Amino acid sequence: MSFPTRRKILKSLLFGGTAIAAPSAVFGAIYGRGEGMPWEPLKGQPPYYGTHEDWFFTPDEREAVAAICARLIPSDGDGPGAVEADVITFLDRQMAGFYGRGQHWYMKGPFREGTATQGYQSEHPPAGLYRHALAELDGYCRAQQDAGFAALSAAQQDEILKGMDDEEITFDGVSAKAFFDLILKNTIEGYFADPIYGGNRDMVAWHYVGFPGTRYDYRDFVGHNGARIDLPPVSLMGRPGWNSSE
**Which residue, 142, 145, 143, 149, is CA-closest to 61?**
149
Task: Output the CA angle 89-207-150, nearest 5 degrees.
Answer: 35
110 prior amide bond cis, ω within 30: yes
Shortest Å, Cβ 27 to another protein: 4
Q: Within 98-117, which residues bind another protein (CB under 8 A)?
A: 98-99, 102-108, 110, 112, 114-117
Three-state SS for 160?
A: helix
Q: How far apart are CA 150 and CA 61, in angstroms?
A: 10
Shortest Å, Cβ 200 to another protein: 9
Among 64, 65, 67, 73, binds another protein (CB under 8 A): 73
Shortest Å, Cβ 8 to another protein: 5
Sign of the torsion formed by the C-alpha atoms of 167, 118, 188 and 86: negative
**Contact map string, positions 25 to 44, toward another protein, x by CB under 8 A:** xxxxxxxxxxxxxxxx--xx
Q: How far apart are CA 167 and CA 165, in angstroms?
A: 5
Size of the site for another protein (CB under 8 A): 98
Q: Within 120-159, which residues bind another protein (CB under 8 A)?
A: 120-121, 158
Shortest Å, Cβ 59 to another protein: 25
Among 17, 173, 232, 240, binds another protein (CB under 8 A): 17
Q: How far apart are CA 213 and CA 84, in angstroms?
A: 18
Q: Does 202 bind another protein (CB under 8 A)?
A: no
Between 134 and 164, name the residue whose CB sits nearer to another protein.
Answer: 164
Three-state SS for 76?
A: strand
Q: Judged by CB under 8 A, which stretch of 10-18, 53-61, 137-145, 168-176 contacts another protein?
A: 10-18
